[in-house]
Structure 1
Amino acid sequence: MNSNKIKIIFVLPNLLPGGAERVFSYLAQNIDAKKFNATLLIMGYSKDASYKIENITTVFLEKPRVLNGIPALYQYIRKNKPNILVSAVGHLNTVTAYMSFMFPKTKFISREVTVLSLDESFFKTKKFDLLGFLSNRRFNSFDKIICQSQDMLDDIKNSYKVSEDKMIVINNPITDGFNLKNQIAINTPIQYITVGRLSREKGIDRILKILTKLNFPFHYTIIGDGVEKDNLFSLIDQYGLKDKITHINFTKDVAIYLSKSDFFLQGSYFEGFPNCLIESCAVGTPVIAFKAPGGTKEIIEDGINGFLVENEEHFLEKLTAQHKWDPIEVRESVYTKFNKNLILQQYEDLFLNILKQ
């Protein structure tokens, strides 16, 4: 190993299916190997890995939960002495924040994944949450905080009183394998798709409600799993949509399904930075999405690669609108802003600059 390389550890809770897991592991694998000696450290089990990791040292701590892995994480950092440690996902970021005091020679960076104050209020309970209490006070422990969208940065700044100098906005990249589709004509029946975690904030229930009002043939594919799965299937039965919906828990062929679809539908009440939207646009499939805090409005250019809507009535109106889409234009709208070379360079610049501080 070249001793002049910057030693950097990327830490994730697990490699289960998810946007944060896929993008973060992609960054770790594709960072410039001439400058960085990167390791991907996973708190969870190797048997749960949904993504193939190549050309990078990957270590699984084989722990059932992040909290169970704290001693092993501490020992790994102590033994390997990285120049930089980057963690992602809130509860793991809380752990690394408080661990940073033990390693003053290592730069600690967090990558946030949601508009946190909205996430907290959406899932708020009356019980005292110690982890939540500690989480809200973690930010100033980091040397830098990566926000996926400007809304996320503004939220941390205003809700948690963090200096803007401590934060930086770096959007997610379009990862490999999302190629421009060949078809231009709309399918019959029209094909809709949603990809994402089946949880309340994703708003799939309001998409189902809107679809009941359509008076033309359609098919809706939902790819994802989560705690709301049973509730959503109850709604599907209640609305009489069972014959018009296909559900897939997980697939590595997301790009193929996106290419075969006419529109991506997003019902989210808030987002961090929805990877599925840039991936849909990358293959040339436009998006219909609710205006919501987070990265959605940084991706969607109204009438160019999709529609941003205000409410359910507006959503229904756009579902029935006659609009000619150009798949090449849809694709270029995201590639100019989110191509992998651009985003990787932003990460590398951050890592190089933080060591100068």
Structure 2
Amino acid sequence: MQESHRTNFTENKRIKVVFMIPSLVAGGAEKVFAYVSQNLSSDKFSTTLLVMGKSEQTTYSVDNVPVIYLGKSRVLHAIPSLFHFLSRNKPDIVLSSVGHLNMVSGFFALLFPSIRFVIRPTNIESKEVGGWLVKKCFSQVDAVICQSQDMADNFKKLYNTSTDKICIIGNPITNPDEINVVDSIEKNHNFITVGRLSKIKGHARILRILARLNKKFHYTIIGDGPERDNLRAQANELNLDSKITYISYTDEVNKYLVQNDLFLQGSFSEGFPNAVLESCTMGTPALAFDVPGGTKEIIEHDKNGYLVKNETEYLRILAADHNWKRSDVRNSVLSNFSSEIVIDKYEKLILSVVSSTTNEN
């Protein structure tokens, strides 16, 4: 039965697409899948968003796509329900994102040869995860979406994935609000960082650099995470408390971005930094370290921000005043990451994967 489902695909039939995500809590992968699943062409695709977690954890609006919540606290616990869903609904293609769920997709690719599976890793990994079994599962998927060239190179190296299976698609701009502020930035006194408070995001080294900055400034940190208490203690030790505003969560990030002169990124590595993209979309340039990942695919040095090699260069940029036009910064990312461009890439990938399956038969 599964084989006939596979061969009966025609161009006149809408392709059944399932997006799988562990949860819809605040996060980059969650935001991207919530957005892409709602914006594929309804003429070409019949789309469902399948969430392993609970509906009460939903952060993003998903009113424009059917959503099924499995209500599980862990991906492992959702496997029986996933098997039942795929057996009953027989989608043409499944796209998954985030580590453990990608592994499950690779496993299901062995069990459901009529369904096409596409995985989307979210980070650059320092070592192979899961050993030979995970490598075997990943070898079964039909395509891998990487958000940057560095991520693609990393995934190919760790899992021996063939180049023809990997597709590079950056994240879409999901906050295309027009800038309703003065277009020019003439000073460099108000800084902002948005993101999860974890060690890899490098907030601690930003604080160390700011403690050496000899000019008046204010720094806004939006986000929460395991390093929250450590960072606040560090700021206190560095006598920075009076210069920092902490915001754990807000649904008005854009408002804060346009109130600041420069977005500070301290990450040691990145998959694809949505917060940097959003900042540039709002016309606020970004200062970041030139590290592995997608940061350098967003930031064009001296055009919409700065990429530096070390803390000395970072401090030098902070100490200087710079003139920017917010409209120029905004246009630099719209030309590469507008929702229309990214959605078109997703649609072409899905059509290509499903069409190649049909041609095999």
Q: Same fold (TM over 0.5)?
A: yes
| Contact residue 43 and residue 63 of structure 1 kept, 8 A | yes
| Contact residue 23 and residue 52 of structure 2 kept, 8 A | yes
Q: What aligned pairs does 1:229-308 form with structure 2 within 5 A after superposition? A: 229-308=228-307
The 1:326/1:234 distance shift into structure 2, 3 A limit, reads same
Aligned counterpart, 1:93? 102
One-letter identity of the residue aligned with 2:211 = T
- % same residue: 45
* Pairs aligned (count): 346
Aligned counterpart, 1:218? 217
Distance 1:257 1:137 in 2: 45
| Contact residue 5 and residue 35 of structure 1 kept, 8 A | yes
One-letter identity of the residue aligned with 1:213 = R
Displacement of 1:179: 2.7
| Contact residue 181 and residue 327 of structure 1 kept, 8 A | no
Report whether the alignment pairs 1:315 with 2:314.
Answer: yes
| Contact residue 190 and residue 262 of structure 1 kept, 8 A | yes
Q: Deviations over 1:37-58 (max 9, x none)?
A: 1000000011111111112100
State the SS of the aligned residue for 1:307.
Answer: strand
Distance 1:45 1:200 in 2: 28
Q: Which moved more, 1:82-91 or 1:245-254?
A: 245-254
Displacement of 1:98: 0.7
1:41 maps to which of 21, 33, 50: 50
Distance 2:187 2:166 in 1: 47
| Contact residue 45 and residue 63 of structure 1 kept, 8 A | yes
The 1:20/1:29 distance shift into structure 2, 3 A limit, reads same
Q: Normalising by structure 1, what TM-score?
A: 0.93
Aligned counterpart, 2:117? 108
State the SS of the aligned residue for 1:109.
Answer: strand
| Contact residue 34 and residue 61 of structure 2 kept, 8 A | no
| Contact residue 194 and residue 221 of structure 2 kept, 8 A | yes
2:33 maps to which of 3, 24, 37: 24
One-letter identity of the residue aligned with 2:31 = R
Displacement of 1:182: 1.5
Displacement of 1:177: 4.3
Distance 2:131 2:278 in 1: 32
| Contact residue 288 and residue 307 of structure 2 kept, 8 A | yes
One-letter identity of the residue aligned with 1:4 = K
Aligned counterpart, 1:126? none
Distance 2:344 2:183 in 1: 33
State the SS of the aligned residue for 1:355.
Answer: helix
One-letter identity of the residue aligned with 1:63 = K
The 1:55/1:351 distance shift into structure 2, 3 A limit, reads same
| Contact residue 181 and residue 283 of structure 1 kept, 8 A | no
State the SS of the aligned residue for 1:356.
Answer: helix
Distance 2:69 2:151 in 1: 30
| Contact residue 185 and residue 324 of structure 2 kept, 8 A | no
| Contact residue 190 and residue 217 of structure 1 kept, 8 A | yes
Report whether the alignment pairs 1:64 with 2:64.
Answer: no
Aligned counterpart, 2:64? 55
Displacement of 1:159: 2.7
Structure 1 unaligned blocks of 5 or more: 122-128
Structure 2 unaligned blocks of 5 or more: 1-10, 357-361
State the SS of the aligned residue for 1:220.
Answer: strand
Distance 1:266 1:133 in 2: 35
Report whether the alignment pairs 1:79 with 2:88.
Answer: yes
| Contact residue 94 and residue 134 of structure 1 kept, 8 A | no
Displacement of 1:187: 8.4
State the SS of the aligned residue for 2:139.
Answer: helix
Distance 2:22 2:82 in 1: 11
Distance 1:207 1:181 in 2: 29
Displacement of 1:134: 4.3
State the SS of the aligned residue for 2:179.
Answer: coil
Displacement of 1:135: 4.0
Q: Deviations over 1:183-234 (max 9, x none)?
A: 2455889211111111111001000000101122211111111111121111
Report whether the alignment pairs 1:175 with 2:174.
Answer: yes
Root-mean-square deviation (CA, aligned residues, Å) is 1.8
Aligned counterpart, 1:14? 23
Distance 2:175 2:220 in 1: 22
Q: Normalising by structure 2, what TM-score?
A: 0.92
Distance 2:347 2:184 in 1: 41
Q: Which moved more, 1:172-181 or 1:15-24?
A: 172-181
| Contact residue 20 and residue 88 of structure 1 kept, 8 A | yes
Q: Deviations over 1:19-47 (max 9, x none)?
A: 11111110001111111110000000111
| Contact residue 17 and residue 250 of structure 1 kept, 8 A | no
Displacement of 1:176: 3.1
Distance 1:78 1:36 in 2: 20
